[in-house]
Amino acid sequence: MAAYLRFVHAEAESRGYSFNLSRVVEAPRLKVRIPETRGQLLFEWAHLAKKLRARNPAWHARHHRRIAPTPHPLFRIVAGGVRSWERVPAPPG
């Protein structure tokens, strides 16, 4: 969790937000990466794009390209589809 919050801190700082990193308890660093499926990564990317188009079209146009996303370093992307817990709309037809 601390590793993730360090990335949140860096992003907050880059956007001019205040994030108190001193409250994050450091633990021994593990070299474990969380496996996540390619399908889930792409599903989340599309979900983010939809929100950005509605909330901030200018930012979306500048930053959310139609390229594959780069996962957070804590994740190891593996083959697979969207996770079973997601509510995925049925394909048309």
Average pLDDT by consecutive 10-residue portion of the chain (93 residues)? Answer: 82 87 77 91 89 86 78 91 85 68
Distance CA 62, CA 85 (A): 31
Asked if 2 and 44 sit in the same domain, the reply is no
**Do residue 52 and residue 83 come from a single domain?**
yes
Same domain, 75 and 51: yes
The verdict on 56 and 16 lying in the same domain is: no
Q: Structurally, how many domains does the chain consist of?
A: 2
Asked if 43 and 18 sit in the same domain, the reply is no
**Predicted local distance difference test score (pLDDT) of residue 35:** 95
Confidence (pLDDT) at 81: 94
Q: Is the pTM of this model over 0.85?
A: no
Domain shared by 7 and 40, yes or no: no
Find the domain containing 15 and state its range.
1-30
Helix, strand, or coil (residue 37): strand
- One domain for residues 14 and 58: no
